[in-house]
Amino acid sequence: MRFKMSRYDCDKEKFQKEYEEALKEFTIEKEEREDIYRECREIDKTLIDCLGYCNETELMEEEFTEFKKQSDREMQEMEDKLISLKKKIEE
């Protein structure tokens, strides 16, 4: 006797796979970005220590802050996708 999976089960299985892949991507991306932040922050700190505060170092800090904001928005979009997929699985 063969069992047929209902469309509901197929969709749920599909969403589960999508969620697992998205979670893996999100985790890797988050770790990579955190590494980049730490490295950039260290470079910025070293430059500021060497140069002192000036227009260039202020601009550098502003650019880093904007980069972090943009990156945080992108990570939030990825996290929202994860939440949406998780809700579909739980329905």
List the domain boundaries for the chain.
Answer: 7-90
pLDDT-derived band at 2 (thresholds 50, 70, 90) equals very low
Q: Do residues 24 and 90 touch, judged by C-beta distance below 8 A?
A: no
User: Which among 4, 7, 6, 13 has a CA at the least distance from the CA of 89?
Assistant: 13
Give the mean pLDDT of the chain. 85
**18-47 tens-digit pLDDT:** 889 999 999 999 999 999 999 988 988 888
φ/ψ (deg, to 5) at 80? -60, -40
The distance of Cα 10 from the centroid of its chain, to the nearest Å, equals: 28
**35-84 tens-digit pLDDT:** 999 998 898 888 888 878 777 778 888 888 998 999 999 999 999 989 99
pLDDT on residue 80: 94
pLDDT at 1 over 60: no
